[in-house]
């Protein structure tokens, strides 16, 4: 795996060779890298069933005091795949069987708030410690069926996305991106850079040279509107 720094400065140096006086900074190129890499990585993960970019977390389970619902908060941004597939799995280890690794223990099944109501109508589908469910609302993941056993933590494996607003990312961090897509990413960013830097400055609408006196003061007439002369409509 390469670092963000290597990718950012590779693209920045190529653009500087073409536009040596361009007002480009590593931070601007870094932002471009994140937003374009995020799209390419999402498309890659939708096509390939692989664990290369799945990150496991041990997360604390909280309880809402007003209704007793169990939930945990997503620790980072994940991909918004269909049917919440940005979550690879959620599991917990029952106290009676601590010998099992967490990922091989009881697994939560995905549902939604609207669909969860019918689960309680059939005994074999009713949420329980042996048959728990989860659903997502924003950055919270709610857990059904474990309300009475007081679990304190779960393991969740997540498909993390790139977040341009994440201030904790460092240029020397590992760039978790498919290496075979780096040439595609570079081509897209070089095309973007050329497009941005080729916009002539005199074509940028910055309001300079605007003359309020030059604004028309007469009423504008539609081409479909017939002129009126001496109070009578002309024919």
In the structure, what pLDDT confidence band is assigned to residue 23 with cuts at 50, 70 and 90?
A: confident
Pairwise CA distance, residues 24 & 157, whole Å:
37
Give mean pLDDT, residues 84-98.
83
Sequence-distant (≥ 6) Cβ neighbours of residue 184 within 8 angstroms: 40
Give mean pLDDT, residues 41-53.
93
User: According to the model, what pLDDT value does residue 194 have?
Assistant: 81
**Helix 182-197 to helix 4-18 angle, to the nearest 10 degrees?**
40
- Domain map of the chain by residue range? 4-49+166-202, 55-158
User: According to the model, what pLDDT value does residue 223 have?
Assistant: 44
User: According to the model, what pLDDT value does residue 195 have?
Assistant: 81
In the structure, what pLDDT confidence band is assigned to residue 227 with cuts at 50, 70 and 90?
A: low
In the structure, what pLDDT confidence band is assigned to residue 200 with cuts at 50, 70 and 90?
A: low
User: According to the model, what pLDDT value does residue 211 have?
Assistant: 53
> What integer best gives the mean pLDDT of the chain?
82
pTM of the complete model beyond 0.85? no
Which of these ranges, 70-84, 100-114, 211-225, has the smallest mean pLDDT?
A: 211-225
**What are the pLDDT digits (tens) for 124-172?**
899 999 999 999 999 999 999 998 888 899 999 999 999 877 767 788 9
User: According to the model, what pLDDT value does residue 100 have?
Assistant: 57
The per-residue DSSP string of 151-217 comes to --EEEEEE-BPP-TT-TT--TTSB--S-GGGHHHHHHHHHHHHHHHHTS-GGGS---TT--GGGS--
pLDDT surpasses 80 at 207 = no
Pairwise CA distance, residues 1 & 37, whole Å:
14
Q: Are 158 and 86 in contact (CB under 8 A)?
A: yes
- Report the candidate in 183, 134, 213, 162 with the shortest Cα–Cα distance to residue 31: 162
Residue bearing the bigger pLDDT, 137 or 206: 137
What's the CATH number of domain 55-158, 2.40.30, 2.60.120, 3.40.50, 2.60.40? 2.40.30
pLDDT surpasses 80 at 123 = yes
pLDDT surpasses 60 at 232 = no
Q: Are 4 and 172 in contact (CB under 8 A)?
A: yes
* Top-confidence range, 6-20, 34-48, 102-116: 34-48
Token look-up 């830097």 returns 197
In the structure, what pLDDT confidence band is assigned to residue 18 with cuts at 50, 70 and 90?
A: low
User: According to the model, what pLDDT value does residue 16 have?
Assistant: 78
**Helix 26-47 to helix 4-18 angle, to the nearest 10 degrees?**
120
């Amino acid at each position: 795996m390469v670092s963000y720094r290597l990718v950012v400065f590779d693209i920045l140096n190529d653009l500087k060779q073409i536009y040596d006086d361009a007002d480009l900074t590593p931070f601007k190129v870094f932002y471009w890298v994140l937003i374009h890499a995020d799209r390419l990585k999402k498309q890659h993960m939708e096509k390939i069933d692989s664990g290369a970019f799945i990150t496991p977390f041990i997360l604390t389970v909280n309880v809402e005091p007003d209704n007793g619902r169990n939930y945990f908060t997503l620790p980072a941004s994940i991909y918004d795949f269909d049917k919440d597939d940005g979550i690879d799995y959620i599991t917990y280890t029952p106290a009676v069987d601590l010998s099992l690794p967490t990922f091989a223990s009881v697994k939560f099944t995905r549902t939604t708030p609207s669909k969860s109501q019918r689960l309680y109508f059939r005994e074999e589908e009713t949420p329980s410690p042996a048959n728990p469910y989860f659903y997502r609302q924003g950055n919270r993941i709610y857990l059904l069926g474990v309300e009475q056993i007081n679990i304190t933590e779960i393991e969740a494996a997540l498909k993390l996305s790139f977040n341009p607003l994440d201030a904790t990312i460092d240029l020397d961090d590992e760039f978790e991106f498919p290496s075979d897509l780096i040439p595609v990413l570079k081509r897209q960013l070089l095309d973007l850079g050329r497009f941005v830097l080729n916009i002539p400055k005199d074509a940028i609408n910055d309001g300079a040279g605007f003359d309020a006196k030059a604004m028309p003061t007469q009423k504008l007439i539609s081409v479909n509107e017939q002129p009126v002369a001496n109070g009578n409509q002309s024919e």
